[in-house]
Amino acid sequence: MKQVLQNLQTGKTELVEVPNPAFSKGKVLIHSKSSLISTGTERMLVDFGKSSLLVKARNQPEKVKQVLNKIKTDGLLTTIDAVRSKLGQPIPLGYCNVGVVSQSGVSEFKEGQRVVSNGPHAEVVNIAGNLCTEIPNNVSDEEAAFTVVASIGLQGIRLSQPTIGENFVVIGAGLIGLLTIQLLRAQGCKVLAIDLDEGKLRLAREFGADSCNPASGEDPIEAGNSFSRSRGVDGVIITASTSSSGPVSQAARMCRKRGRIVLVGVTGLELNRSEFYEKELSFQVSCSYGPGRYDENYEEKGQDYPIGYVRWTEKRNFEAILDLFAAGSLNVAPLINHRVPFDDASRAYGLLSEEKETLAIILEYKNSTESLDGETLSLKENEQNSSSLKKFDNPVVGFIGAGNYASRMLIPAFKKAGARLHTISSSGGTNAAIHGRKNGFENATSDTEKLLANPEINSVAIVTRHNSHAKFVIQALDAGKHVFVEKPLALTLEELEDVQTAYANAGSCQLMVGFNRRFAPQVKIMKELLEQISQPKCFIMVMNAGHIPADHWTQDLEIGGGRIVGEACHHIDLMRFLSGSPIVSVHAHCMEEANSTSSAKDKVSINLGFKDGSIGTIHYFANGGNSFSKERIEVFAGGRTLQLDNFRKLRGFNWPGFRKHALWQQDKGQNACSKAFLNSIKNSGKSAIPHQEIFEVTRVAIEAVNSIL
């Protein structure tokens, strides 16, 4: 199938061939019929992409601060690589999609139903049930395509709580503004539209609004005063997009006492206290389509809010808009400037940039459903010459997962180590196609089962969400594949036991977890130095992990396993490696925060005891300063000390013949780790990490978490 993607680095918008998304329970697979290009949001993304790095930096000062902090801790070259990777990641465009259900994992939807969703511009979309709504029979595809963007305006109206006969001002008569005007009129409100574009104001007047054009010398404050019979307007909804704080100030000055101001668009927020204080004005920022937005439990897991407590969710807002279309209360025909075949989507985005007065562009999909079948895409342009494909000297690798870590770190490391990159899989298919083409894979797919069943593939790299690791490891081992899995290996002791059983039955298959830090060049130096000392050692490892919201998937014990199992396991393995001795005891202590409702366990100290008498403490803290080193490792042994700072600066104290070793660029051992795994397969040698240590470290990490739950 085809999908519209945009490169944030260049601003280029392309129609790209990608695999169909994989169908899954709780989702609805939709074959698209039409979609709406949202001129506000999508024009902003296109313009941002085409801007220079300097302009990008000016527009995102908070990101610049993050980059500067990363340079301090990780070094210039590592930071440049991270920024280039982020900007080079194409993003899907679009969020207003109309189509026909082809498969449904949600009981309320059946095959053949017409539905609207917040799906992207793609021939096939896979959407959760709470982001999808059936279209009434008397509502056309074109009308329905405006449902999602109209819901943005509707949510702003709900927050402003208008009543019949009230006077409302809409600042910004763009696409959302003109829809908001119609919605307010349907609520029985008088509306004053303010904009600098006379063409848009003409449409506003057609929809029953009064108008004010500051570009023609009209004063918005005077217009608002006259419009409200000198009483001040009851409310203002700002749908404009500008860096100026002028619209907010104007809104405050034209409001009556205790008036309501709701920001739906994007403006500056330098508020004048006196303008709000004297009138006791309320000011609120509206969040997209309504309650449920950005809540993973609602949007992805399908957990609806009880209607008795949350009357209007984003899905119910979709339904309300569709009911208004069905009743003839909304008219979008005058808003459509162009209808463009989906195959010509690049021209549509050209029109978006060239014609600033454009309000809405409809993309029309003509493909039959039969032509859209196919969850595997052959990337023919990436094939090497036929003779090289017949060589099986190097491992033939399939990648399950195409997220940020896989694309930025692991895939380049495997490629550099000489692996034959056969197939890459992602559930949506898009990331698989993007990174498959970029890195020379032969195929991209959304069908993981086919990847695992392919007899050509003898090795699998698993880089997915943590709760799927054990399942994929077992499936791959059962299929006779060598397995590299990004940490963690398992989330529970039961999963670990199942993995151990599968490994025991897998014969000569290699199993490796991506504990890359033990392969870092400076860690190897530490290991060689420590082997000179036969006495027990003391370890202190500090991970300044940084704050992650409690609702992030890594904090979810069922999905991510928590940050100790998911991240601190690196340091448990590193300590196990440097000590060279089995772990015999584990105790963990978690900081209890007063008045905190967070269930996140990410401020933890873990104490380990080793068979040879060594001891160690891992401090995993999420409450430190971001300009401090992310990782610091100290070892005390035999009257000597080693200190490794952020995998860049290694120092020795009282160490004969060794003082320091510094790197220009941070190296945590990812390349060496991947190479070691591939070499163990090529040479049919022993595992790069003994499997006993892999299982031991995984068990200790899980036990550490269990001790603080």
Strand 27-38 with 2-6, pairing: unpaired
Q: Do the Cβ atoms of 119 and 30 come closer than 8 Å?
A: yes
Q: How many angstroms separate the CA atoms of 421 and 410, rounded?
A: 12
The torsion angles phi and psi of 184, rounded to 5 degrees, stand at: -65, -40
Q: Say yes or no to pLDDT of 41 above 90.
A: no
Give the span between the Cα atoms of 417 and 670, in whole angstroms: 11
In this prediction, residues 680-709 reach a mean pLDDT of 92
312 pLDDT higher than 50: yes
pLDDT digits (tens, 9 = 90+) for 457-494: 999 999 999 999 999 999 999 999 999 999 999 999 99
pLDDT band for position 107 (50/70/90)? very high
- The residues of the chain that CATH labels 3.30.360.10 are 517-706
What amino acid occupies position 527? Answer: K
Query: Which of these CATH numbers, 3.40.50.720, 3.30.70.20, 3.40.640.10, 3.50.50.60, describes 149-285?
Result: 3.40.50.720
Radius of gyration of the chain (CA): 29
Torsional sign, CA 128, 129, 130, 133: positive
Q: What is the C-alpha to C-alpha distance for residues 96 and 153, in angstroms, rounded to an integer?
A: 14
- CA 513 vs CA 460, 509, 671, 675, 676: distances in Å: 12, 13, 14, 13, 12
Side chain identity at residue 700, one-letter code? V
DSSP 8-state secondary structure symbol assigned to residue 478: H
Mean pLDDT of the chain: 90
Using CA atoms, how far residue 707 sits from 557, 586, 594, 661, in Å, is 14, 9, 20, 38
Residues of the chain with CATH 3.40.50.720: 149-285, 376-507
pLDDT-derived band at 90 (thresholds 50, 70, 90) equals confident
Distance CA 575, CA 697 (A): 10
Share of the chain above pLDDT 70, in %: 90
d(CA 82, CA 408): 8
Whether the ω angle into residue 488 lies within 30 degrees of 0, i.e. cis, is yes
Tokens of 376: 């595997």
* Helices 175-186 and 39-50, axial angle in degrees (round to 10): 160
Contact call for residues 272 and 252 (beta carbons, < 8 A): yes
Q: What is the CATH number of domain 376-507?
A: 3.40.50.720
Amino acid letter, 407: S
Residue 64: pLDDT over 60: no
Q: How confident is the model at residue 386, as a pLDDT?
A: 37
Residue 597 has pLDDT above 90, yes or no: no
pTM: 0.85
Q: What is the pLDDT of residues 218-234, one digit of tens each?
A: 999 999 999 999 999 99
Its CATH architecture, for the domain 517-706, is: 2-Layer Sandwich (3.30)
> Is pLDDT of 80 > 70?
no
Contact by Cβ (8 Å): 105, 119: no
Confidence category of residue 388, pLDDT binned at 50, 70, 90 = very low
Half-sphere exposure at residue 505, Cβ-oriented, CA atoms within 13 angstroms: 13
The answer to whether residues 603 and 621 touch, using CB atoms and an 8 Å cutoff, is: yes
Compute φ and ψ for 497, nearest 5 degrees: -60, -40
**Looking at the chain, which residues constitute the CATH 3.90.180.10 domain(s)?**
2-146+332-369
- Beta-carbon-side half-sphere exposure of residue 419 (alpha carbons within 13 Å): 37
Q: How many CA atoms lie within 13 A of 562 on its CB side?
A: 24
The CATH number corresponding to 2-146+332-369 among 3.30.420.40, 3.90.180.10, 3.20.20.80, 3.20.20.60 equals 3.90.180.10
Q: How confident is the model at residue 391 (pLDDT cuts 50, 70, 90)?
A: very low
pLDDT in tens, 255-284: 999 999 999 999 999 999 999 999 999 999
pLDDT band at 385 (very low <50, low <70, confident <90, very high): very low
Kindly list the distances between the CA atom of residue 221 and the CA atoms of 217, 242, 631, in Å, as whole numbers in the listed order: 12, 19, 56
What's at 356, amino acid-wise? Answer: K
Which residue type does 306 have? P
Q: Which amino acid is at 598?
A: S
On the 0-12 / 13-18 / 19+ scale of CB atoms within 10 A, 639 is exposed
Q: How confident is the model at residue 373 (pLDDT cuts 50, 70, 90)?
A: low
Residues in the chain: 709
pLDDT above 70 for 624: yes
Please state the three-class secondary structure of 366-398 as a single string: CCCHHHHCCCEEECHHHCCCHHHHCCCCCCEEE
